[in-house]
Amino acid sequence: MKSLLYILFIPLVLCACKIDDVAAPDSTFEGRLVDAGGTGIQLEQGASSARLKMEELSWSNTPLPLFLNLKQDGSFINNKLFPGNYKVTPVEGPFYPVVEKVVDINGATKQDFTVIPYLNVDWTGEPAINADKKLSASFKFTSNAAPEGLTKPNPLDYQLFISTNQYVGNNNWDNTAVGAVVPVTVDKEGQEITISSSVPMKYSTTYYVRIGVRVNDTYKKYNYTTIKTVTVP
């Protein structure tokens, strides 16, 4: 009797199974966050500096968002997306709020996003090792005008970031090599500022160096210089 029941039950189970014929996500979406001049925004690697918020509108008007991480040069790529209509917004970064773009993603899609960084942070000289073996670097920062209806935040502080790998930033640095963050006020804008490590650098080591300055906004993320290398013989 049990054998007969199994024989009758198995076809029912097989009939209830439906083959999943939905194709795997294979569309690629890539681009950069750039300033008004088309230069990539300097960020931290990953999600700690800024993210790209994506909401697929193809199936719902209130979709759950997914987030893309960003690279240090402001670029991004995801090659495992379903084709569709997406609302995309750069969020949580060291820039003024951005109006979202609606992007049709199908196959290989490229789209850059222009943002206004709070600050431009530039080297004024090459970082170097001093006679006392400490690393010294000079920079300046300038602010960008706020878009209409928004208020320009005040500068808050700056820091020297040092690491032995290329992904240097506030999420990856040797905090034993430098002191505490340095408070800064708006009167320092445009002036050359010099900052040094708090300890001597090790011999036979290559260091990756950048400087970050942040403003007193909600997220307090750093605007950065480019990354430079300093080799101690």
**Burial (CB count within 10 angstroms: exposed 0-12, middle 13-18, buried 19+), residue 94:** buried
More confident residue, 107 or 4: 107
Closest CA to 77 of 35, 105, 36: 105
Distance (Å, rounded) from C-alpha 63 to C-alpha 12? 36
Q: What are phi and psi of 10, to 5 degrees?
A: -60, -45
Given a cut of 80, whether residue 103 has pLDDT beyond it is: yes
The CATH topology of domain 119-232 is: Immunoglobulin-like (2.60.40)
Percent pLDDT > 70 in the chain is 91
Two structure tokens written together for 34: 């750039």
**What is the three-class DSSP state of 62?**
coil
Given a cut of 50, whether residue 164 has pLDDT beyond it is: yes
pTM above 0.95, yes or no: no
**CATH number 2.60.40.1120 is the correct assignment for the domain at 27-114:** yes
Q: 90 near 113, Cβ under 8 Å?
A: yes
**Residues β-bridged to residue 32:** 75
Domain boundaries for CATH 2.60.40.1120 within the chain: 27-114
pLDDT band per the 50, 70, 90 thresholds, residue 13: very low
Domain boundaries for CATH 2.60.40.2060 within the chain: 119-232
pLDDT (tens digit per residue) in 31-49: 999 999 999 999 999 999 9
